[in-house]
Structure 1
Amino acid sequence: MTGEREASESAYAALTDETRVRILLTLADRYDEAWSSGGPTFSELREQVGVEDTSRFSYHLSELQDGFIQKVDGRYRPRIAALEIVAAIRAGSYTTQNGDKQYEIQEQETEYECPHCDRNLVAAYQEHHLYIGCPDHGAAVAYPTPPRATENRPLDAVIDATLRNHACDVRLLRNGVCPHCWGAAGLSLPRDSVPETYLHQDVPYATAACDTCWLSYPIPIAQTILGHHAVEALYATHGLRPRDAQIGPHSLTEVSSVRTDEAVSAAARVEVGLADGSVEFDLDENCRIRRYGASDTEQIQ
């Protein structure tokens, strides 16, 4: 870990100068040119960044090489690390501080009722998180969401974008990939307890976790099948939106039955029922889908 920490500190130390950050932003903005012309030359890049002192620019460029940029045939290209840094900056994750009122969205009532009472859930965006919960029963979810997601979007559109992103995350986790650091990650069951603020404390939970980064949170077993094409097809057939699988009266948590007893030939069996249609999923202990199909029938693939 010491070597990894030192490497990380060295890499981020290279980004402490404004000129170096401008170099990365410029290369990223012209990333498409790298595929046709190979990227800018030293002189072209210096002019684009706006630095007159050649020696000073050469020094900053050398500090970024190997880790963040590469030189090929006299032209400069951003590496993946540079593109990731620029994406985080543009998303507002670095440049916008928690508590920045410009990006806050005050609490608003949603169309969805709390599963424990007849009050509508409320949502708000604060401190880089989308919060959705009940005024009486606490926060149901708190999704990490960068400030850029709120730009030119009403709160309802932020909810939609965030939940779509979360469904993609779950699909990656189900396949063993962390959606944030690309490390080994996954879903596992059972999980015995969840925070008291979670609205669905009375349903069986699994755990989403990464072996490398910070990612770790409880997730209802029913929602570990998010993003699967059979689920999306079932919801579309009934005129429901993808977000309806995560929140509201038609969420997977509300319309599914989950069995984890010895009577089923799987670590967990999830049956999703909507009106006249249903799909059944057999999951292993890592929530990987081993069989799915119409209830009480053979697998449909």
Structure 2
Amino acid sequence: MTDEDSTREAAYAVLTDETRVRILFALADRYDEAWSSEWPTFSELRTQVGVNDTSRFSYHLTELQDEFVRKVDGRYLPRVAALEIVAAIRAGTYGEARAGDEESDIEQREIDCECLHCDQALVATYRNHQLYVGCPEHGAAVAYPTPPRAARSRTIDEVIDCSLRKHACDVRLLREGVCPHCWGTANLSFPRDSVPDTYLLDDVPYATAACDICWLSYPIPIAHTILGHPAVETLYANCGLGPRDAQLGPHDLARVSDVSLSERDSPAARIVVELRDNQVVFDLDETCSVLDHRR
């Protein structure tokens, strides 16, 4: 077992007790208030968590230091790790299934968007923390991990919109070399020789999004590597279209763009986006970073 494995297991072990998790929730709930007042003392935090036994509470609070909680001048502050754990639990991405989670599942239904190959209406579903949009015969147009919280009290169209907006932000970070999930070193690269048979867009050139640290690795159309770029968002907005249109439907970037690869060092690729008599040209390097763009 490596030192990293030991550290990870120790952190998980600390979080197996309900009282410790309640401490993290209590500190997270004080986050906004603490900036204008102060973080809680031992007694204030114990009262907020609802533990009468001082010795028992002290033991659990000590177990959370210094990985998740800091003590400064007699007051207790959450570390970023604590806040992210609380956010993950509330988003529904961490922990066992809870009563009501099944309400987040959205049964398969048709949406107002056609398959690019057979003109059938695409179907969308949300289940098992995954948004899927695709054609029953030709595969997936969108397959994106989406936490249960995103699907609660939202229609399937709203889930699609927020997921695609999140993906555009992810791509923007990847262009800058940052993994949107673990903050590790990540990249976009091309060319990619093959994609899964279940992908709807099977006749366009693909790149690869990958992180050096975590699980992130998937094929992405090269035209989609400019998602989230201000010039792309302005182009679509000027045409009365939004982020969803850039990834799904007849105005999908992969369908309204001409992608050419070069054997030269720079630019390594050129993307010409044609949308309603408007054109924007992007020059990319081998990591899909935008070297230049012009109308």
Please give the TM-score of this superposition, normalised by the length of structure 2: 0.96
User: Aligned with 1:16: secondary structure?
Assistant: coil
Quote the offset at 1:96 in angstroms. Answer: 5.1
Q: Which residue of 2 aligns with 1:93?
A: 93
* d(CA) in 1 for partners of 2:270, 2:247: 18
User: Aligned with 1:195: secondary structure?
Assistant: coil
Q: Which runs of 5+ in 1 are unaligned?
A: 295-301
Quote the offset at 1:201 in angstroms. Answer: 1.1
Is the contact between residue 89 and residue 95 of structure 1 (CA under 8 Å) also seen in structure 2?
yes
1:23-42 CA-to-partner distances (Å, cap 9, x unmatched) read 00010011113323331110
Is the contact between residue 258 and residue 271 of structure 1 (CA under 8 Å) also seen in structure 2?
yes
* d(CA) in 1 for partners of 2:267, 2:165: 28
Q: 2:247 aligned with 1:210, yes or no? A: no
Q: How does 1:1-301 map to 2 (within 5 A)?
A: 2-95=2-95, 97=97, 101-262=102-263, 266-294=267-295
1:143-193 CA-to-partner distances (Å, cap 9, x unmatched) read 000000011111100000000000000000000000000010010111100
In the alignment, residue 93 of structure 2 is paired with which amino acid?
S
* d(CA) in 2 for partners of 1:234, 1:155: 26
Ranges of 4+ aligned residues in structure 1 off by more than 3 Å: 95-100, 261-265
User: Aligned with 2:150: secondary structure?
Assistant: helix
In the alignment, residue 51 of structure 1 is paired with which amino acid?
V
My pick for the range that moved more, 172-181 or 29-38, is 29-38
Cα distance change of structure 1 residues 264 and 24 upon mapping to structure 2, 3 Å threshold: closer
Is the contact between residue 34 and residue 77 of structure 1 (CA under 8 Å) also seen in structure 2?
no
Aligned identity (percent) is: 69
In the alignment, residue 85 of structure 2 is paired with which amino acid?
I
* d(CA) in 1 for partners of 2:31, 2:264: 56
Cα distance change of structure 1 residues 269 and 45 upon mapping to structure 2, 3 Å threshold: same
Cα distance change of structure 1 residues 265 and 63 upon mapping to structure 2, 3 Å threshold: closer
* d(CA) in 2 for partners of 1:15, 1:96: 13
Quote the offset at 1:95 in angstroms. Answer: 3.4
1:237-277 CA-to-partner distances (Å, cap 9, x unmatched) read 00001110000000101100100144895211100001110
User: Aligned with 1:110: secondary structure?
Assistant: strand
1:178-228 CA-to-partner distances (Å, cap 9, x unmatched) read 000001001011110000000111110000000000000000000000000
User: Aligned with 1:130: secondary structure?
Assistant: strand
1:53-100 CA-to-partner distances (Å, cap 9, x unmatched) read 000000000000100010111111100000010000000111353995
* d(CA) in 2 for partners of 1:263, 1:73: 59
In the alignment, residue 5 of structure 2 is paired with which amino acid?
R
* d(CA) in 2 for partners of 1:180, 1:231: 24
* d(CA) in 1 for partners of 2:20, 2:265: 58
What is the count of residue pairs matched by the alignment? 294
Quote the offset at 1:10 in angstroms. Answer: 0.6
In the alignment, residue 46 of structure 2 is paired with which amino acid?
R
Is the contact between residue 141 and residue 248 of structure 2 (CA under 8 Å) also seen in structure 1?
no
* d(CA) in 1 for partners of 2:7, 2:264: 51
Cα distance change of structure 1 residues 244 and 260 upon mapping to structure 2, 3 Å threshold: same
Quote the offset at 1:140 in angstroms. Answer: 2.5
* d(CA) in 2 for partners of 1:79, 1:33: 16
Is the contact between residue 222 and residue 258 of structure 1 (CA under 8 Å) also seen in structure 2?
yes
* d(CA) in 2 for partners of 1:160, 1:244: 10
Quote the offset at 1:12 in angstroms. Answer: 1.2
In the alignment, residue 45 of structure 1 is paired with which amino acid?
L
* d(CA) in 2 for partners of 1:170, 1:26: 34
Cα distance change of structure 1 residues 97 and 193 upon mapping to structure 2, 3 Å threshold: farther
Cα distance change of structure 1 residues 38 and 100 upon mapping to structure 2, 3 Å threshold: closer
Q: Which residue of 2 aligns with 1:299?
A: none
Please give the TM-score of this superposition, normalised by the length of structure 1: 0.95
* d(CA) in 2 for partners of 1:32, 1:72: 18
Is the contact between residue 100 and residue 127 of structure 1 (CA under 8 Å) also seen in structure 2?
no
